[in-house]
Structure 1
Amino acid sequence: MTASLISQFLPVLSERYLVDENILVPELLARCDTLQPHQAAAERLATQIVEGIRAQKPRSMDINQLLVAYQLTSEEGIALMCVAEALLRIPDTQTRNALIRDKMSVTEWEASSAANPFQNFSTWALNLTGNVLHLQNKDSGWGVFGKLIARLGQPVIRTALEQAMRLMGNQFVLGETIDEAIANRRKHPYPHATASYDMLGEGARTINDAARYFQAYETAIHAVGKAKMGDSISIKLSALHPRYEWRKPDRIRHELFHSVFKLCAIAKAYDLMVTIDAEEMDRLVPSLELFEMLARTPELSGWNGLGLAVQAYGKRCTQALEFVIALARDTRRIIPTRLVKGAYWDSEIKRAQVEGHENYPVFTRKSTTDVSYLAGAQLMLSAPDAIYPQFATHNAMTAAMIMQIVGDKKYEFQRLHGMGDNLYESLSAVLGRPVPYRIYAPVGPHHDLLAYLVRRLLENGANSSFVYQIADKNIPVKKMLDNPVQFTANLSDKLHPKISLPPDIFGAERKNSFGPLLPEPMMRDKLIKDIQKFLLQPYEAAPIIDGKSLTGVRQTKYDPSDNRRALGTSIDCTTDDVARAMEVAHHTQHEWDKMGGAARGKILARAADLFEFHMPQLVALIVREGGRTLQSAINDFREAVDFLRYYGAQAAREFETPVRLPGPTGEQNELWLRGRGVFVCIAPWNFPLAIFTGQATAALAAGNSVIAKPAGQTPMVAHYAVKLLHQAGVPTGVLHFTPGSGSALGKVFVESKYT
């Protein structure tokens, strides 16, 4: 194979990034056909596992019971997360007290009869807070004794809650330092279990942050290597560089690579396994590219400790695994590969909606992620010469199915520290032999815990989670062991019915603005080529009065980022031009208003579609004339499209039919909304398309005619927008484009009898 395997995989990775689930899922289901003969045996084993777990005596530190007591869909669960955020992040006592009073006094904490000190202590602290603060908030009746409790209560409450949160922290963090974590690891009662240590933190924001994380990883590798316990290290690339993002490929290939290589070289000297953790979907290709660079580095050859985590909820999971298999064979190594279901689902869904993508990079149904996981597990087990499979799961059905297909191949399970230990104890007991598993063990101070803790609780606190269900004995075992392959195959629509695609998040009223998928290299390169092609020709922005482009003195416009580069020319209006535009706008406004809100709304909707069709041209002008970055220009463009669709929808809803008002019997009172006349819209330069379009569109939607004056710095962007609005159907007599000096034209605007 060539030196760049990732380049061969880019087309399929691009194709699968946002692929329709109704296209992709049948393919994954077909991959799982070979599991059917093992289904009955897997269900029997899973049933035994669950029954074994439920027969175990509850531990004093059982997070499962807390998740059942305080579901994240309940007021208590939400308040608990608020408290965690407050107490682990806020540095000063006064602010902590204020937030505790605000969030805790209105919540009723249910008393628990469970014999679980962890849960009961948390409940006691939360109840104490709520009751005392509720007493404080009463206007009367609490007297001297109440005042005394209130005065003594705040430090007591704060201490109790902090201790409760730290108790939760200890549940998830093996130690605040690597030495403490290793010492705690030695106390682990299961000698067949190993650990993978991860430094707590959610990514470097500065070079100093990255240096601190690097030092922590380096110290950990030396400590774990010297301990000789068979443990490993997990590394987050985002912790080692503040600009680990698709926009900075050169810095990833040089600066970030250098840091990761140094850590891997130290780990190789100890024959220590290092796993590159999976992060957000827009970082998949950069991470695979960097991973290939590491695998091809001569200094790391012959080392089978270079590992990678792959997320099953991503639509490119199988392609990522195929890449790993091909890379392993090409570099003659075995790659430890951790298959996880994924930890950023909620943010992936939200980001796709906010950024206006065509679809989601992750599956919208949990069952489909389970199918993807099983398909990935089969693929990993089919390549024992290339992959050492590591299956991260807390789900009994998933573990049981893997046990049916693993055969005599080498493998291990993985679980999070503080969760899932009862699953693997029960599995080992049922099988009559120890099951090899590795504990993913975060290390770090509790004030770095919050984001990790929130992800864990969101993953496992939902009532669809196996971890949640296993602790609730009211849920029948059979319900917990549904076959995800059969369930998913029976779905007529693989997309979750309650999760609209990003273009449809605003419902029937309007469509979301389209945003190109910039993190994807092939899509990004095409957009950039279209932009560059448009910029080859100089652009001219001339006044447009009553549909006619005017002539005049041409002024050369230069790129503000490079004053040597001419973009084209612009022509300013004269005061006579503006006066004529005012008169035409006045005479055409009435017919535009009579057209009705629904008809105007359709025109503005067509304009939005035209804007999107001409996105490369508009973005090109925003970048060059406005001096904006590509992402900033796209944001400006999308806001303009949203304005067009929003005001178009408002026109149809508010300006088409009258609103009937209440009144005395026998009277019929109606409210009609109408245009007022001629509006002068003067836009600034900082959002040359969005603000210009938003001002004009709002006035047009309401039935007014518009004199649109762009900023002197950005007439070209506005000129292109006006041409598209005319093309969409806005009458040329209703919308006029009047570039020019504000000091010269302002007096005409203000003193005109038509404004």
Structure 2
Amino acid sequence: MDRTISSYLYADEAQCVEGLLTSRRWDGVVAARTKKKAFDLIEKVRAEKRKAGELESFLQQYSLTTEEGVALMCLAEALLRIPDSATASALIRDKVVAANWLSGVGSSKDWVAKAAGVGLFVTSKTLDGVLSRMGEPLIREAMIRAMRVLGTQFVLGETIEEAEMNAQKLRDKGYRLSYDMLGEGARTDDDAQHYYDSYHQAIGYIGQRRSRDNARRPGISVKLSALHPRYKQAQAEHCLPEIMATVKRLALHASSHQIAFMIDAEETERLELSLKIVESILSDPMFEYWEDFGIAVQAYQKRALPLINRLAELLRKNKRRMQIRLVKGAYWDREIKRAQVLGLEDYPVFTRKVNTDLSYQACAARLFENPGLFHPMFGTHNAQTIAAILELARDNNYGFELQRLYGMGEALFDVVQREEQAQVSIYAPVGAHNDLLPYLVRRLLENGANTSFVNKILNPKTPVQQLAQDPVAAAKESKAKRHPLIVLPKDIYKQDIYGSGRVNSSGMDLDDPAVSGPLLRYITTAKIPSEAAPLIGGKA
């Protein structure tokens, strides 16, 4: 990868933010129009008649700032994976009994939230009472089914056939579908073959039934980590040739059916590998005239804007055009924790949400500045972000797309469709319950937090002014660009509960070629005397 991108991996957050602010041409008139549009969208969403069972209502009732929300999060993360009934019952008892499930239920107008609260309240009293032993098997089965029901709010179908059938009502509303076959990463060659077969079969199935309308042709997202059990930098020499061949077979299958093929975003340490595969496809004459190939870009990465610049260079060089799905990112908690555990010099992602929002707008502007190179797709449920995109697109004649997750943002997108006539699509996960958990947990983490737009848009106590905050202005006004409570990885123990004040041990990110490359070259060229022999009783 180009060194200019790698150098941003652990760049200083303040310098990154200043660079993004410099890149944004965002005058007062444009900001005012965007704010007015955001106000209008939010007020219209709040005025809409709410649908029974709307997931946003559930997340608002049980946000991650409540004991109940955290309990549900723990259940969702672990319950379906527990193999034995005794442990499952213990988990349910631990998480359900301690929470007050009736708090706030009276104020909720959504029947799903009410039913969940009352049901969990009854469950907690049963588990805490004399009938606990008799009631545990029934309650355990009910809770497992409840977690599955919660998951189905995010998943279009367990199979591609079921998802295609369920998608018809969405197509009738004007949505294009982009399917995601659930699967978090192959651990064995058998896993990789299973996921490959799943993608190949899904491409063929939806390709045979696709719309003849070019603007509404379906697409599929592919996780590269699902296609090889050793998809990591340390195994690049072995895994890259194999995975390139696999991806090209799938891409050729997709192109023959004229459906979009999107390489999904994953953890930050996989980006370098993903870009090499993208470069290989962009330079392959076999895909010379295919514009339905794309990659997802995560705006919370400090490398997001440099990555788009690098992709633009590749497209100019190869005289190509591609799709970009711009998202904010779904692995933030994991990226922060990984940097702390490894003792890295900094974080690969922004620590303030406003900085991610600023990065998103800067990336969106860069995509619109290069319409001959990119077909942009914007994944967001945030009214202010949508308003900014609509403003950036005022003079764009090449087309773009707004995208929401299945089960999220329906009210907002109904308003956008009706008022703006924008092209819209749905990112629709497909898979069985045993593949659902990691996806469900990410959605709960993203949208259950009190900072989540989804969590706040339906809450009348949250001022519209707060929801329509301009990230450009907010980033300029913020004196501390980094979040004050998220200290550098080396400083996480300076004020621990034991008062030790020690510095965290420093480590190396061996998934970063800028680090591992020089180290490996030194090892292979260093003239270090060495001797290898078996030790018996401490003697060679």
Q: The TM-score by the shorter chain falls in which range?
A: over 0.9
Q: After superposition, give the CA deviation of every residue in 1:102-151 in whole Å (9 maximum; x if it has no partner).
A: 33222221252333232223223311211111114xxxxxxxxxx4xx45
Q: Please say if 1:181 is aligned against 2:163.
A: yes
Determine which of 290, 293, 316 is the counterpart of 2:280.
293
Shift of the alpha carbon at 1:183?
A: 0.4
Residues 518 and 191 (structure 1 numbering): CA distance in 2 closer, same or farther, change over 3 Å? same
- Asked if 1 retains the 8 angstrom alpha-carbon contact of 2:171 and 2:177, the reply is no
Shift of the alpha carbon at 1:36?
A: 4.1
Q: What SS does the aligned partner of 1:493 have?
A: coil
Shift of the alpha carbon at 1:200?
A: 1.0
How far apart in 1 are the matches of 2:118 and 2:112?
A: 10
Aligned to 2:207: 225
Q: In the alignment, residue 164 of structure 1 is paired with which amino acid?
A: A
Aligned to 2:361: 374
How far apart in 2 are the matches of 1:494 and 1:459?
A: 22
Shift of the alpha carbon at 1:386?
A: 0.6
How far apart in 2 are the matches of 1:168 and 1:479?
A: 29
Aligned to 1:528: 520
Aligned to 1:502: 489
Q: What SS does the aligned partner of 2:207 have?
A: helix
Q: In the alignment, residue 428 of structure 1 is paired with which amino acid?
A: Q
Tell me the matched-pair count: 525
- Asked if 1 retains the 8 angstrom alpha-carbon contact of 2:73 and 2:444, the reply is no
Shift of the alpha carbon at 1:492?
A: 1.9
Aligned to 1:22: 14
Q: After superposition, give the CA deviation of every residue in 1:325-347 in whole Å (9 maximum; x if it has no partner).
A: 12222222210000100010111
Aligned to 1:131: 125
Shift of the alpha carbon at 1:66?
A: 1.2
How far apart in 1 are the matches of 2:27 and 2:303?
A: 21
Q: After superposition, give the CA deviation of every residue in 1:28-72 in whole Å (9 maximum; x if it has no partner).
A: 011123354311111111111111111112212211111111121
Q: Please say if 1:98 is aligned against 2:80.
A: no
Structure 1 moving runs of 4+ over 6 Å: none
Q: In the alignment, residue 135 of structure 2 is paired with which amino acid?
A: G
How far apart in 2 are the matches of 1:532 and 1:158?
A: 56
How far apart in 2 are the matches of 1:406 and 1:494?
A: 28
How far apart in 1 are the matches of 2:297 and 2:77?
A: 29
The structure, 1 or 2, with the larger RCO (C-alpha pairs under 8 Å, 6+ apart) is: 2
**More moved, 159-168 vs 293-302:** 159-168
Q: In the alignment, residue 56 of structure 1 is paired with which amino acid?
A: E
Shift of the alpha carbon at 1:449?
A: 1.1
- TM-score (norm. length: structure 1): 0.67
C-alpha RMSD over aligned residues: 1.9
Q: Please say if 1:249 is aligned against 2:236.
A: yes
Shift of the alpha carbon at 1:152?
A: 4.5
Aligned to 2:261: 274
Q: In the alignment, residue 13 of structure 2 is paired with which amino acid?
A: E
Unmatched 5+ residue regions in structure 2? 212-216, 496-500
- Asked if 2 retains the 8 angstrom alpha-carbon contact of 1:46 and 1:396, the reply is yes
How far apart in 1 are the matches of 2:368 and 2:171?
A: 29
Q: What SS does the aligned partner of 1:17 have?
A: coil
- Asked if 1 retains the 8 angstrom alpha-carbon contact of 2:192 and 2:227, the reply is yes
The higher radius of gyration belongs to 1
How far apart in 2 are the matches of 1:86 and 1:516?
A: 31
Aligned to 1:518: 510
- Asked if 2 retains the 8 angstrom alpha-carbon contact of 1:311 and 1:317, the reply is yes
How far apart in 1 are the matches of 2:146 and 2:27?
A: 44
Shift of the alpha carbon at 1:532?
A: 4.6
Shift of the alpha carbon at 1:83?
A: 2.1
Q: In the alignment, residue 116 of structure 2 is paired with which amino acid?
A: S
Residues 317 and 270 (structure 1 numbering): CA distance in 2 closer, same or farther, change over 3 Å? same
- Asked if 2 retains the 8 angstrom alpha-carbon contact of 1:252 and 1:290, the reply is no
Residues 189 and 268 (structure 1 numbering): CA distance in 2 closer, same or farther, change over 3 Å? closer
Q: Please say if 1:558 is aligned against 2:536.
A: no
Aligned to 1:329: 316
Q: What SS does the aligned partner of 2:233 have?
A: coil
Residues 188 and 288 (structure 1 numbering): CA distance in 2 closer, same or farther, change over 3 Å? same
Determine which of 43, 59, 62 is the counterpart of 2:54.
62
Determine which of 19, 23, 27 is the counterpart of 1:31.
23
Q: After superposition, give the CA deviation of every residue in 1:343-385 in whole Å (9 maximum; x if it has no partner).
A: 1011101101111111111111000000100000010001111
How far apart in 2 are the matches of 1:279 and 1:85?
A: 19
How far apart in 2 are the matches of 1:286 and 1:413?
A: 27
Shift of the alpha carbon at 1:189?
A: 6.4
- TM-score (norm. length: structure 2): 0.93
- Asked if 2 retains the 8 angstrom alpha-carbon contact of 1:264 and 1:274, the reply is yes
How far apart in 2 are the matches of 1:123 and 1:198?
A: 31
Determine which of 443, 447, 450 is the counterpart of 2:434.
447
How far apart in 2 are the matches of 1:235 and 1:151?
A: 45
- Asked if 1 retains the 8 angstrom alpha-carbon contact of 2:255 and 2:290, the reply is yes
Shift of the alpha carbon at 1:90?
A: 2.0
How far apart in 2 are the matches of 1:251 and 1:73?
A: 45
Aligned to 2:411: 422
Q: After superposition, give the CA deviation of every residue in 1:623-663 in whole Å (9 maximum; x if it has no partner).
A: xxxxxxxxxxxxxxxxxxxxxxxxxxxxxxxxxxxxxxxxx
How far apart in 2 are the matches of 1:192 and 1:507?
A: 54
Residues 532 and 269 (structure 1 numbering): CA distance in 2 closer, same or farther, change over 3 Å? closer
Q: In the alignment, residue 380 of structure 1 is paired with which amino acid?
A: L
How far apart in 1 are the matches of 2:35 and 2:532?
A: 66
How far apart in 1 are the matches of 2:120 and 2:378?
A: 37
Residues 559 and 70 (structure 1 numbering): CA distance in 2 closer, same or farther, change over 3 Å? same
Unmatched 5+ residue regions in structure 1? 1-5, 137-146, 539-556, 564-711, 714-740, 744-755
